């Protein structure tokens, strides 16, 4: 044997011994361990020697047990840290990658996102092809799918008033006997059918209200149970009741519901952990590793590291999170809290991307995506859709996307198109055949018109005529959706679709493996740990609330100890009631201290229902951490109050009496927060939950035994005492105190002072009743938490009530009710109003109320904010960050100006600075209004600002919202009739007059649709009759026609010589041409 062979064998043996040793001790750092057995003896070693070393390292890894082999990978350190020095390859433990190491590795893999992402997945595909591994695919079919919704017909305004609610309740009772004449059924989808194929990108187009969201929710198995579903939906030939569609597919809602206190990274990490990110990938990686070992194949180091890192199961941090952050452009805000309307966080576009990332981070093979581009600029949306195209074509995923305003470049990324209108399918087939179909129907897309915009307008009764190109042969007559459907059936694409649907899907074991037959991705213990970790994180984020509650308790304890101080109170029958009062005050103070739990629970209830419905975790894994992790706070609050007041007030000095009172207060506080959690989960609405919670508190005070002593209660009300936990707490605390030795002085009535006091209050129980009270409080704690769990598990999400309409409007539109299907469609989940009024051309505003045109000029505007603490801790030395740098420009009356730029460019920041909405930071530069320096008090009266976030009162109608704004913001000299006329004019201009009686509702839960909410925001500002209007993304969330309506209205405003400035995302050619000037 040669010396080199002996050296190689010794080298391999030593390598094997090191690898099989304890991982944690062998590798002190996963990226910086360069043991001598892994490093070449000299940097000048030949390439062949390097290959031999790699083979030896890989051979040693292959000899390890499977579970260790899947954790170790050869990693190429070359240029990892931006250095040109080649550091070679080393063995790493993928389970020990730190945050910085994961970030740097993803940056190396995805330097140029679109190009590198395609290369990454191409290499993954090639690796699987080399070992002959074929991934299962999913084909989704739906045939003759019809979905019916039931609406309630009422007289007068169709609002959920008290009278209408009582009538609905009576109708529900009569409906049990089949006598409900007030209900009417409306079809949201009408006999649609189609095939969503794997390895192809399918685009769903159609105006709002056509049934897009309902179709997506139906395919995802997420329809409300109140809807009647007819027809068949299948995945690989399996019907929805034969597997778990919520786990097989990922539905991305158009509503952004997230916990505001969590950061972007934490939200994605929690989603990945609950969806079992490593479960399916781990099985695939194990099979690949086994086959590569048999074939003696050495994989690409980077690809091997990536695939093994994302296959780790049950990890709190996963490399897939960093990957999703990168491709969605969220890496710049990964450690920023999500925020909400009251807490500053990420932008609306970033929330939209977070909603997408939260679902696609899982292992689902079917993606059903509803309006994922809202609030995003064109470049970001194009990047995301390009990555989706890569997934579809390389990983053979099934991707079905609904978009409102896809640009031509984005439209070209899709393979198939589905066009819907009025709940029916107009076209379903290849993208390159859609124009051929409409030309056969007599409609042609103009050269400068986007095809997607053309498709959505050609089925519109109002916009269809402009595309008719047979005008010289015959005049245009409206072609209905039904006629389009008949022509599509005769079109060769439609005939091929019918032929494919007539052939049953061939089920195989491979196709079955693509489906999920279990509700949850992890075991119960793993999901409980995930929820426990999140709950602890949220408690830390809300630490101010808990600290403030404790501080309040300390203040009230100090007040109580001074009011009932022992120097003023003696232990006798005269002052006994003062001791009894101080005990009752302590009890109610601890009881009231739990009210904050009600608002905290209500604020997260919508997010819980979203995650529950897609089987992230069962309800009990959410309720148990909420109950257990609050115990330390109850312990602290009870101890603080007892320690501060007990001996100062002068209660019995025995230590066991001290701890006895502490235990009562501790358990009562636990019962209180459990009660308010239960109340919040049952009523869900913040106003209703608060009212009912406080009512329960009042009832408990009345039956507690102190306000009204038990002996004085009527016999028919005494049962209420035993249903109140405060009664048992009062009995326990009183018995603990008044049966103490210090109260055992015998009176002339042959009873002790303590017994006499207890008898007066009807609390004369034996000492053992203290422990009965303890047991009763523990029982209440269990009962309330059990009720909380059942409420979470079985109650429906808030806001899902059936529509309420008037009989006149229903009869007027019985033939074309789908035209305003947003009134009852599932995606809006609350009633809209069906109207017989056709769209009316917007009028010019300014004819009713006069105003003075104003010019806004700004020169060298700069804006600085303080550097965040986290950035300073990471070594950022500058004290301030400059967000705006020397911005100069002018906004003139009668000129429509667009602010354009990618997300984060500073468009909204500039508008906030110019409008005076920035309350923090430092603003430099010269801003003038009409040639005069800006005075904010005066400027606020002549300007309007339409925010990106649409905030409105949920319990009033559209007309009431606009009218309320007019009453508050228009001068008092204007008479009531003029205000009403101006409000009507604004509503007509924004085309909300047809829905003016619709309740606004809560976004993401119920109420008007996204595009109607956006138009309402504009109307609320326009009704103040401003001279200058700032609009932050007024077309976000709107389809091409709705966006054109808004821009048409905006242009009419500009024509009245108002100054209008808009930030804009993804403008099509029509919207872009509407602007006069652009600031980029």
What is residue 386's DSSP assignment?
H
Q: Among candidates 760, 763, 761, which has minimal Cα distance to 772?
A: 763
What is residue 297's DSSP assignment?
P
Q: Among candidates 1008, 980, 984, which has minimal Cα distance to 995?
A: 1008
pLDDT at 31 (0 to 100): 36
User: Which of 31-35, 368-372, 399-403 is least confident?
Assistant: 31-35
Residues 92, 95, 98, 99, CA torsion sign: positive
Which residue pairs from 685-688 have beta carbons closer than 8 angstroms and sit at least 24 positions apart in sequence? 685/602, 685/798, 686/599, 686/602, 686/603, 687/955
Residue 375: how many other CB atoms lie within 10 Å: 24
621: tokens are 């894994």
pLDDT at 839 (0 to 100): 38
Task: For residue 63, report the phi and psi dihedrals to the nearest 5 degrees.
Answer: -80, -5
pLDDT at 498 (0 to 100): 92
For residue 113, the SS3 value is helix
Residue 16 has pLDDT above 50, yes or no: no
Residue 909 to residue 453: CA distance in whole angstroms: 31
Most distant pair of Cα atoms in the chain: their distance: 117
Mark 158-173 as b/e (b = at least 16 C-beta within 10 Å): bbbeeebeebbeebee
Residue 156 has pLDDT above 60, yes or no: no
991: tokens are 């085309």
Query: Could you tell me where the beta strands, DSSP code E, fall in 345-481?
Result: 366-370, 398-402, 416-421, 424-430
pLDDT at 340 (0 to 100): 84
Q: Which residues pair with 186 in a beta bridge?
A: 149
Contact 955, 161 (CB under 8 A): no
Task: For helices 753-760 and 725-738, give the axis angle rounded to 10 degrees.
Answer: 160
Segment 998-1013 shows an average pLDDT of: 74
873: tokens are 């801790």
Segment 275-302 shows an average pLDDT of: 83
pLDDT at 559 (0 to 100): 92
Mark 295-312 as b/e (b = at least 16 C-beta within 10 Å): eeebbebbbbbbbbbbbb
Residue 704: how many other CB atoms lie within 10 Å: 23
Residue 246 to residue 264: CA distance in whole angstroms: 23
Contact 370, 251 (CB under 8 A): yes
pLDDT at 840 (0 to 100): 38
Segment 119-129 shows an average pLDDT of: 90
Segment 10-18 shows an average pLDDT of: 41
pLDDT at 86 (0 to 100): 45
pLDDT at 55 (0 to 100): 66
pLDDT at 576 (0 to 100): 80
Contact 300, 123 (CB under 8 A): yes
118: tokens are 């395609």
Percent of the chain predicted with pLDDT > 90? 30
pLDDT at 160 (0 to 100): 64
Tokens 């390890």 label which residue?
Answer: 64
3-state helix, strand, coil in the chain (%, to 5): 50, 15, 35
Residue 400 to residue 212: CA distance in whole angstroms: 11
pLDDT at 8 (0 to 100): 41
What is residue 948's DSSP assignment?
S
- CA geometry: angle at 77 spanning 73 and 83, to 5°? 170
Contact 846, 871 (CB under 8 A): no
Contact 323, 124 (CB under 8 A): no
pLDDT at 368 (0 to 100): 95
Element (H, E) at 941: helix 936-942
Task: Give residues with Cβ within 8 angstroms of 265, minimum separation 6.
Answer: 321, 325, 334, 335
Contact 727, 704 (CB under 8 A): yes
Residue 1006 to residue 823: CA distance in whole angstroms: 11
pLDDT at 496 (0 to 100): 93
Residues 374, 376, 377, 379, CA torsion sign: negative
Percent of the chain predicted with pLDDT > 70? 83
Give the tens place of pLDDT for each residue, 949-979: 778 888 888 999 999 999 988 888 888 888 8
In this prediction, residue 829 has a pLDDT band, given cuts at 50, 70 and 90, of: very low
pLDDT at 315 (0 to 100): 79
pLDDT at 39 (0 to 100): 41
Tokens 């009251």 label which residue?
Answer: 342
Task: For helices 378-394 and 113-130, give the axis angle rounded to 10 degrees.
Answer: 10
pLDDT at 732 (0 to 100): 92
List of domains in the chain:
3-96 (no CATH), 228-287+320-513 (3.40.50.300), 524-794 (no CATH), 856-1079 (3.40.50.300)
Contact 475, 406 (CB under 8 A): no
User: Which of 325-334, 728-737, 783-792, 1049-1058 is least confident?
Assistant: 1049-1058
Segment 871-878 shows an average pLDDT of: 70
In this prediction, residue 801 has a pLDDT band, given cuts at 50, 70 and 90, of: low
What does pTM read for this prediction? 0.78
pLDDT at 180 (0 to 100): 54
Q: Among candidates 537, 685, 516, 522, which has minimal Cα distance to 618?
A: 522
How would you classify the pairing of strands 366-370 and 249-252? parallel
Q: Among candidates 279, 284, 426, which has minimal Cα distance to 361?
A: 279
In what side-by-side order are the strands of the sheet with 1077-1079? 943-946, 1028-1032, 1059-1063, 896-899, 1077-1079
Residue 811 to residue 155: CA distance in whole angstroms: 13
Residue 17 has pLDDT above 50, yes or no: no
Give the tens place of pLDDT for each residue, 608-666: 999 999 999 999 999 999 999 999 999 999 999 999 999 998 888 899 999 999 999 99
In this prediction, residue 276 has a pLDDT band, given cuts at 50, 70 and 90, of: confident
Residue 720 to residue 698: CA distance in whole angstroms: 12
User: Which of 77-91, 329-343, 348-362, 551-565 is least confident?
Assistant: 77-91
Contact 956, 1000 (CB under 8 A): yes
Task: For helices 976-989 and 1010-1022, give the axis angle rounded to 10 degrees.
Answer: 140
Residue 1027 to residue 1056: CA distance in whole angstroms: 10
Residue 529 has pLDDT above 60, yes or no: yes
Residues 589, 595, 597, 600, CA torsion sign: negative
In this prediction, residue 66 has a pLDDT band, given cuts at 50, 70 and 90, of: low
User: Which of 395-409, 813-827, 888-902 is least confident?
Assistant: 813-827
Do you know the residue count of the chain?
Answer: 1080
Residue 763 has pLDDT above 50, yes or no: yes
For residue 974, the SS3 value is coil
pLDDT at 500 (0 to 100): 92
How would you classify the pairing of strands 856-866 and 880-891? antiparallel
How far does Cα 250 stand from its chain's mean position?
14
Residue 1058 has pLDDT above 50, yes or no: yes
CA dihedral 373, 374, 378, 381 (to 10 degrees): -20
How far does Cα 558 stand from its chain's mean position?
43
pLDDT at 4 (0 to 100): 40
Maximum average pLDDT range among 58-62, 362-366, 799-803, 815-819: 362-366
Mean pLDDT of the chain: 81
Q: Among candidates 146, 125, 143, which has minimal Cα distance to 134?
A: 125
User: Which of 582-596, 737-751, 805-819, 1038-1052 is least confident?
Assistant: 805-819
Give 374's Cβ-side CA count (13 Å radius): 27
pLDDT at 952 (0 to 100): 84
Task: Give residues with Cβ within 8 angstroms of 1008, minimum separation 6.
Answer: 822, 828, 830, 832, 958, 995, 998, 999, 1000, 1001, 1016
pLDDT at 781 (0 to 100): 96
Element (H, E) at 694: helix 686-702
Instruction: List the end-to-end C-alpha distance of the chain, in Å, as a whole number.
Output: 73
Q: Among candidates 868, 870, 830, 834, which has minimal Cα distance to 1010?
A: 830
User: Which of 132-136, 177-181, 497-501, 909-913 is least confident?
Assistant: 177-181
Residue 679 to residue 787: CA distance in whole angstroms: 9
Contact 867, 880 (CB under 8 A): yes
655: tokens are 């230590």
Residue 559 to residue 842: CA distance in whole angstroms: 64
pLDDT at 843 (0 to 100): 40
């Amino acid at each position: 044997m040669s010396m080199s062979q002996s050296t190689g064998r010794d080298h391999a043996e030593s390598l094997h011994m090191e690898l099989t040793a304890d991982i944690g001790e062998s590798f002190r750092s996963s990226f910086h361990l360069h043991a001598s057995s892994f490093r070449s003896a000299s940097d000048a070693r030949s390439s062949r020697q390097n290959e031999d070393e790699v083979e030896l390292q890989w051979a040693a890894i292959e000899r390890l047990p499977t579970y260790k082999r899947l954790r170790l990978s050869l990693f190429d350190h070359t240029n990892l840290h931006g250095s040109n020095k080649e550091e070679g390859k080393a063995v790493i433990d993928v389970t020990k990658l730190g945050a910085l190491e994961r970030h740097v590795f993803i940056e190396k893999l995805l330097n140029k996102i679109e190009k590198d992402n395609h290369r990454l997945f191409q290499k993954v595909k090639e690796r699987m092809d080399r070992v002959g591994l074929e991934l299962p695919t999913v084909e989704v079919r739906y045939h003759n799918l019809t979905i019916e919704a039931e609406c309630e017909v009422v007289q007068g305004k169709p609002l959920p008033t008290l009278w209408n609610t009582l009538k609905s309740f009576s109708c529900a009772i009569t409906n049990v006997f089949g006598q409900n004449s007030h209900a009417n059924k409306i079809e949201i989808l009408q006999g649609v059918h189609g095939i969503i194929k794997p390895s192809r990108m399918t685009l769903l187009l159609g105006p709002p209200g056509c049934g897009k969201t309902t179709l997506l929710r139906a395919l995802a198995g997420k329809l409300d149970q109140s809807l009647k579903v007819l027809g068949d939906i299948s995945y690989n030939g399996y019907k929805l009741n034969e597997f778990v569609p919520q786990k097989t597919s990922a539905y991305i809602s158009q509503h952004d519901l997230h916990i505001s206190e969590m950061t972007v990274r934490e939200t994605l990490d929690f989603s990945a952990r609950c969806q079992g990110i490593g479960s399916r990938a781990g099985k695939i990686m194990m099979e690949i590793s086994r086959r590569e070992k048999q074939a003696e194949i050495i994989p690409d180091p980077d690809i091997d590291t990536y695939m093994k890192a994302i296959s780790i199961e049950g990890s709190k941090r996963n490399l897939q999170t960093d990957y999703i952050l990168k491709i969605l452009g969220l890496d710049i805000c990964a450690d920023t809290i999500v925020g909400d309307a009251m807490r500053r966080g990420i932008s609306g576009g970033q929330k939209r991307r977070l909603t997408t990332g939260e679902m696609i981070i899982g292992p689902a093979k079917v993606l059903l995506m509803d309006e994922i581009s809202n609030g995003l600029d064109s470049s970001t949306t194009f990047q995301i859709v390009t990555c989706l195209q890569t997934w579809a074509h390389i990983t053979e995923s099934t991707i079905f996307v609904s978009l409102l305003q896809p640009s031509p470049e984005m439209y070209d990324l899709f393979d198939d198109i589905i066009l819907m209108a009025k709940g029916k399918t107009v076209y379903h087939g290849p993208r390159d055949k859609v124009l051929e179909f409409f030309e056969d129907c007599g409609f042609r897309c103009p050269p400068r018109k986007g095809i997607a915009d053309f498709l959505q307008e050609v089925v519109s009764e109002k916009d269809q005529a402009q595309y008719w190109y047979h005008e010289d042969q015959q005049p245009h007559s409206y072609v209905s959706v039904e006629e389009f459907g008949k022509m599509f059936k005769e079109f060769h694409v439609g005939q091929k679709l019918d032929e494919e649907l007539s052939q049953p899907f061939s089920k195989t074991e491979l196709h079955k493996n693509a489906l999920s037959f279990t509700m949850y991705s992890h075991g119960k213990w793993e999901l409980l740990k995930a929820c426990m970790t999140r709950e602890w994180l949220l408690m830390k984020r809300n630490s101010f609330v808990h600290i403030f509650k404790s501080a309040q308790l300390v203040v009230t304890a100090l007040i109580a100890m001074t009011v009932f101080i022992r120097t003023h109170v003696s232990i006798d029958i005269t002052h006994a009631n003062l001791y009894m009062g101080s005990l009752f005050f302590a009890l109610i103070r601890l009881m009231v201290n739990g009210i904050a739990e009600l608002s905290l629970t209500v604020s997260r209830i919508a997010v819980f229902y979203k995650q529950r419905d897609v089987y992230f975790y069962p309800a009990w894994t959410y309720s148990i951490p909420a109950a257990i992790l609050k115990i330390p706070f109850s312990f602290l609050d009870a101890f603080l109050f007892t320690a501060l007041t007990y001996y100062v007030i002068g209660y019995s000095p025995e230590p066991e009496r001290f701890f006895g009172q502490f235990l009562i207060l501790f358990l009562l506080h636990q019962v209180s927060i459990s009660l308010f959690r239960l109340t919040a989960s049952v009523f869900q609405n913040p106003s209703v939950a608060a009212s009912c919670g406080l009512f329960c508190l009042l009832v408990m005070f009345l039956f507690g035994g102190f306000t009204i002593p038990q002996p004085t209660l009527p016999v028919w009300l005494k049962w209420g005492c035993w249903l109140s936990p405060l009664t048992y707490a009062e009995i326990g605390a009183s018995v603990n105190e008044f049966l103490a030795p210090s109260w055992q002085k015998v009176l002339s009535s042959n009873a002790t002072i303590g017994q006499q006091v207890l008898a007066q209050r009807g609390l004369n129980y034996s000492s053992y009743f203290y422990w009965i009270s303890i047991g009763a409080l523990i029982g209440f704690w269990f009962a309330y938490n059990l009720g909380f769990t059942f409420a979470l598990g079985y109650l429906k999400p808030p806001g899902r009530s059936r529509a309420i309409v008037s009989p006149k409007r229903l009869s007027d539109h019985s033939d074309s009710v789908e035209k305003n299907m947003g009134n009852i469609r599932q995606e809006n989940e609350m009633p809209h109003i069906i109207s017989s009024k056709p769209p009316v051309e917007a009028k010019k505003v300014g004819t009713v109320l006069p105003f003075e045109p104003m010019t806004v000029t700004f020169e060298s505007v700069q804006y600085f904010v303080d550097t965040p603490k986290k950035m300073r801790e990471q070594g950022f030395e500058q004290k301030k960050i400059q967000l705006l740098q020397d911005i100069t420009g002018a906004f003139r009356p009668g000129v429509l100006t667009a602010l354009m730029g990618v997300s984060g460019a500073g468009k909204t920041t500039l508008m906030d600075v110019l409008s005076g909405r920035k309350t923090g930071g430092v603003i430099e530069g010269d801003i003038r209004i009409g040639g005069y320096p800006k005075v904010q008090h005066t400027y606020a009266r002549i300007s309007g600002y339409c925010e990106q976030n649409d905030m409105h009162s949920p319990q009033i109608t559209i007309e009431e919202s606009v009218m309320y704004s007019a009453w508050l913001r228009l001068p008092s000299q204007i008479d009531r009739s003029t205000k009403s006329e101006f409000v009507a004019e604004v509503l007509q201009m924004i085309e909300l007059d047809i829905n003016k009686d619709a309740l606004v509702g809560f976004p993401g839960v119920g109420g008007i649709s996204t595009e109607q909410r956006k138009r309402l925001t504009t109307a609320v500002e326009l009704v103040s009759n401003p001279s200058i209007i700032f609009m932050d993304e007024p077309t976000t969330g709107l389809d091409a026609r709705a966006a054109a309506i808004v821009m048409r209205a905006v242009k009419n405003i500009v024509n009245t010589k108002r100054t209008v400035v808009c930030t804009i995302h993804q403008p099509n050619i029509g919207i872009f041409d509407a602007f006069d000037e652009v600031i980029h």
